[in-house]
Amino acid sequence: MTPQTPPQIVDSHCHLDFPDFDGEHAALIERARAAGVTRMVTICTRLRHEPRVRAIAEAHEGVFYAAGTHPMSAAEEPMATVEELVALAAHPKFVGIGESGLDYHYTPESAPVQQESLRIHIEAARRTGLPLIIHARDADEDMARILTEEHRAGAYSCVMHCFSSGAALARAALDLGFYLSMSGIAAFPKSAELRAIFAAAPLDRILLETDSPYLAPPPYRGKRNEPAYTAHTAAKGAEVFGLNLSDFAAATSANFDRLFAKAAA
- SS3 (DSSP) at 147: helix
15 marked as binding residue = yes
| Buried/exposed 1-29: b ≥16 CB within 10 Å, e otherwise | eeeeebbebbbbbbbbbbeebeeebeebb
Query: Helices 245-259 and 230-241: crossing angle, nearest 10°?
Result: 110
Question: Would you give the end-to-end CA distance of the chain in angstroms?
Answer: 35
211 is in an annotated binding site: yes
Taking alpha carbons only, the member of 132, 162, 236 closest to residue 192 is 236
DSSP 221: T
Query: Distance (Å, rounded) from C-alpha 74 to C-alpha 81?
Result: 12
Q: What amino acid is encoded at 171 in this protein?
A: R
How far apart are alpha carbons 192 and 151 in whole angstroms?
31
- Find how far residue 208's CA is from the centre of its chain: 8
Q: Find the DSSP H helices in the chain.
A: 25-34, 50-59, 82-88, 111-128, 140-153, 167-175, 192-199, 230-241, 245-259, 261-264
Q: Answer yes or no: is 232 a known binding residue.
A: no
Helix (H, G, I), strand (E, B) or coil at 137: strand
**Is residue 91 marked as binding?**
no
13 labelled as ligand-binding? yes
Annotated binding site for a divalent metal cation, which residues? 13, 15, 99, 135, 161, 211
Annotated binding site, which residues? 13, 15, 99, 135, 161, 211
